[in-house]
Amino acid sequence: MLVHEAFGLDDQMILHADRLAGMGFLVVAPDLFSRGRRVSCLIAAFKAVVAGTGVAFEDI
């Protein structure tokens, strides 16, 4: 599983996922910012990390 950094799922992460898939790996790269505006999703993701539960964990 690839989890993107703070800037979201970008072209570079998609290239990494495609490269690994091309080598025979099963790759999952969820976009943790897909449920709304980037800033609000980023805040929710950090809150989820602190709490150990939340939307980001559900997406993963």
pLDDT at residue 18, as a whole number: 96
Using the predicted structure, report yes or no on whether residue 16 has a pLDDT greater than 80: yes
pTM above 0.75, yes or no: no
CA distance 46 to 51: 9
Which residue type is seen at 42?
A: L
**Encoded tokens for 1:** 């599983």
Which residue type is seen at 16?
A: H
- Main-chain phi, psi angles of 59, to 5 degrees: -65, -40
Using the predicted structure, report yes or no on whether residue 52 has a pLDDT greater than 80: yes
Contact 6, 44 (CB under 8 A): no
